[in-house]
Amino acid sequence: MPVASAEASTSRKQGRGRSVNVFGGLSHVALLIWAILVIFPIVWTFLASFKTNTELFGDSPLALPHQFHWDAWGRAWAKAHIGLYLVNTIKVVAISTFLTMLFGSMAAYVLARYTFFGNKAIYLLFVSGLSFPVFLALAPLWLTMKNLGLLGTHTGVVLVYVAYSLPFTVFFLTAFFRTLPTSVGEAAMMDGCSHTRTFFQIMMPMAKPGLVSITIFNVIGQWNQYLLPIVLLPGDAQDKWLITQGIANISTNAGYEADWAGLFAALSMAIIPVLIVYIIFQRQIQSGLTTGALK
């Protein structure tokens, strides 16, 4: 890469001397250091999953593993149930994101496009949910779920994920539906298209960019949820656990069972799929996650 020459040519173009180069050089070093700070822990975790305990706790934990054995990955997958937790998480997040998007866009569409008594009040009710910390609802939510018999079930988790994802989804999509032109939908209605068909066949495809952003936002948010799973899926429902609580649990137990390589293998299994998805969709993911802040 002609990094140095590009740098030199810009500074020459600007007609500036040594000071800019020094500053540019230092800021390059800063950028590089931060990149290493981000990449290094992840690479180290991956390598550590191939090490033995002696290598991990020996004199040089920074060294490469002597040989690449995949035993720890097998142990993490089967004995620590990481495979099960991954499947559980995929199931829960797929269903709850789908329902969040369906219900969220239905409510947002009606609130954005129809005038009726109570419209403003319902919109404000949804948006007010954004100002409460979820910790406030923790105790009553647990009691409610217990009374409904939904504690320790994926149904309960899905319902709660959908309900707590609605405020932001409705807030964002209402604003989005308002920006879409009204004429297309009106023309369809004139031609005898029902309200419901207009929504699913005309408005939803038009709203695709907004729907994609907010779907990404919800998938990542729900995938990374830790608080709600540990509250709603307590210890006696261990076969229902999700990936974040599974990993945190091995970490708590690792001290006793001393399977550190297994822990690092489990961590790698949780990180690598996310990393791959992120690299493929990084542009969409970055805009999906920051889009809420820019509204």
Partner 1 sequence: MRHGKLSPVLLRKYGFIASFLAVPLILYVVFVIWQYIQAFQISFTNSRGISPNFDYVGFDNFTRLFDDEVFWAAVRHHVVLLLAMPLITVAIALFFSFMLNLGGGQKNGKMTGVPGSAFYKIVFFFPQVLAVAIVGVLFQAILRPDKSGVINSALHAVGVDPVGWLISPSLALWTIIGVMVWQAVGFYVVLFSAGMSSIPRDVFEAAALDGAGRFVLFFRITLPLLWDTLQVGWVYLGIAAFDGFALVQVLSVDRGGPDNATTVLPLEIWRTAFTYSKYGVASAMGVALFFMTLTFAVLTLRVTRRERIEF
Q: What residues numbered 193-252 form the site for partner 1, per CB under 8 A?
A: 194-196, 199, 220, 223-227, 231, 243-245, 247-248, 250-251
The enclosing H or E element of 15 equals none
Q: Tell the smallest beta-carbon distance from residue 122 to partner 1 (Å).
A: 7
DSSP conformation letters of 143-187: HHHHHTT-TT-HHHHHHHHHHHHHHHHHHHHHHHHHHS-SHHHHH
The yes or no reply on residue 22 touching partner 1 (CB under 8 A) is: no
91 alpha-carbon distance from chain centroid: 15
Question: Is 290 an interacting residue with respect to partner 1 (CB under 8 A)?
Answer: yes
Q: Interface with partner 1 includes 190 (CB under 8 A)?
A: no
Q: How many CA atoms lie within 13 A of 53 on its CB side?
A: 8
CA neighbor of 158 nearest in space, from 214, 201, 98, 80: 98
Q: Check binding of 280 to partner 1 (CB under 8 A).
A: no
Distance in Å, CB of 192 to partner 1, minimum: 12
Residue 65 is classified by DSSP as: P
Confirm or reject binding of residue 31 to partner 1 (CB under 8 A).
Answer: yes
Per CB under 8 A, which region of 65-73, 177-185, 201-209, 268-276 contacts partner 1?
Answer: 268-276
> Is the Cβ of residue 90 or residue 106 nearer to partner 1 in the bound state?
106
Token reading at 71: 């035993």
Q: How far apart are CA 261 and CA 179, in angstroms?
A: 52
CA 261/CA 51 separation, integer angstroms: 6
Q: For residues 295 and 290, give the distance between their C-alpha atoms in angstroms, rounded to a whole number.
A: 9
From 121, 124, 136, 190, residue interacting with partner 1 (rule: CB under 8 A):
136
Rounded to the nearest whole angstrom, what is the least distance from the CB of residue 249 to partner 1 in the complex?
A: 10
**Please, which of residues 52-111 interact with partner 1 by CB under 8 A?**
56-57, 59-62, 103-104, 106-107, 109-111
**Nearest to partner 1 of 16, 120 (CB atom):** 16
Which residue among 137, 180, 204, 206 contacts partner 1 (CB under 8 A)? 137
Could you tell me if 100 and 169 are in contact, meaning their C-beta atoms sit under 8 angstroms apart? yes
Residue 253 binding partner 1, by CB under 8 A: no
Instruction: Work out which of 90, 180, 202, 289 binds partner 1, going by CB under 8 A.
Output: 289
- Asked whether position 16 contacts partner 1 by CB under 8 A, the answer is yes
Applying CB under 8 A, which of residues 116, 190, 236, 256 lies at the interface with partner 1? Answer: 116
Query: Could you tell me how many residues of this chain bind partner 1 (CB under 8 A)?
Result: 103
- CA separation for the pair 170, 179 (Å, rounded): 14
**What φ, ψ does residue 10 adopt, rounded to 5°?**
-65, -40
Minimum distance of partner 1 from residue 151's CB (angstroms)? 12
